[in-house]
Amino acid sequence: MQIIAHRGASGEYPENTLLAFEQALAQGADAIELDVYAVEDELIVIHDPRLERTTNGQGSIYQHSLTALASLDAGSGQTIPTLWQVLQLIQNKCWLNIELKGADTLAPLLTLLDRAEIELGFDLATLLISSFNHPLLAALKTARPAIRIGALTASLPLQYAAFAAELKAEAVHCDADFIDEYMVKDAKARGLKIYVYTVDDKDGLTALRQLGVDGVFTNYPANSRRFLGL
C-alpha cells in the first residue's frame, strides 16, 4: 500500500511547505500530495484560498501580489512555496500528486510541466494530477492525454467509480468516510487504482489494507509506515 504524504508530513510540520515535503521524503513516503492555486500565472502551494489558517497573512490569496505572498510566514519560518520550488526539491525522488484547487490552474500547469521536463529532467510518469473539479480534469486530459489523472470524490457516487473511468483517470481518490468494499471492487474492475484520504490511525490503515486499496493519504508518513510494518 502506497504511503502518500498529505500536504507533506503535515502532522508534524507546517503543511504544504518545503520543510514538510523534505520531511516526507526523509520519512520514506512513496509520494507527496499538495494543493495548488494560480496567482499571477504562477502556481503556489497552499490548501486554502484564504491566508489566515496557515500563514500570518490575511484575506484571499488573490488580493495579494506574488511578492507579497512570498514574504508571509507559513509556519516555522517557512514560506508559501511555488510549485516550481517543490519540483526542484523533489527531482523525481518520489511520485507527486498535484491537486488542482483553483479553476484557473490548467494553463500555468501545462507551461510549468513543459519547463520542468526540459530544465529539471522531470519525469511526467512520476506525476498524478487530481482535482474535485472534474471538468478541469477533462480539459487537462484533452490537452495532454499522456498526463495521468486522479479523480477526487468526497462522496460515494451512485455509479461508484464510473465517473473516474469516464475521465480516463488512472486512479480514483476517495474520502475515508465513504469508502466501502463495493467502491473498491468497482474501481478494480475498471482497472483503476484507488487511493483514500486522509487516514492516520492504525485501525483505519489496517482496515484499508484489508479492503485492498492501493494507497492512503496520511499526515504522518513515518507513523503510518510503522503501523503497517512497512
Nearest to ligand G3P of 94, 114 (CB atom): 94
Options 47, 64, 134, 173, the catalytic residue = 47
Binding mask 137-156 for ligand G3P (x = CB under 6 A): ---------------x----
Long-range contacts of 22-25 (CB under 8 A, 24+ apart): 22/89, 24/94, 24/221, 25/90, 25/93, 25/94
What is Dmax (Cα atoms) for the chain?
A: 48
Partner that binds at residue 10, options Mg ion, ligand G3P, none, CB closer than 5 to 8 Å by kind = none
The torsion angles phi and psi of 14, rounded to 5 degrees, stand at -60, 125
214 contacts which partner out of Mg ion, ligand G3P, none, CB within 5 to 8 A by kind? none
Examine the residue annotation and report whether 173 is marked as an active-site residue of this protein. Answer: no
DSSP, res 142: H
We find the least distance from the C-beta atom of residue 119 to ligand G3P, in angstroms, to be: 27
Show contacts with Mg ion in window 51-110 (CB under 5 A): 99
Rounded to the nearest 5°, which phi and psi values hold at 131?
-170, 150
- Amino acid of residue 77: G
Among 35, 186, 200, 214, binds Mg ion (CB under 5 A): 35
Minimum Å distance from CB 149 to ligand G3P?
Answer: 12
Q: Which helix (H) or strand (E) holds 73?
A: none
User: By Cβ distance, which residue is nearest to ligand G3P?
Assistant: 197
Residue 15 makes contact with Mg ion by CB under 5 A: no
Contact 130, 173 (CB under 8 A): yes
The C-alpha atoms of residue 128 and residue 146 are separated, in whole angstroms, by 11
Q: How many residues bind ligand G3P (CB under 6 A)?
A: 10
Q: Is 47 a known active-site residue?
A: yes
Residue of 15, 19, 29, 33 that binds ligand G3P (CB under 6 A): 33
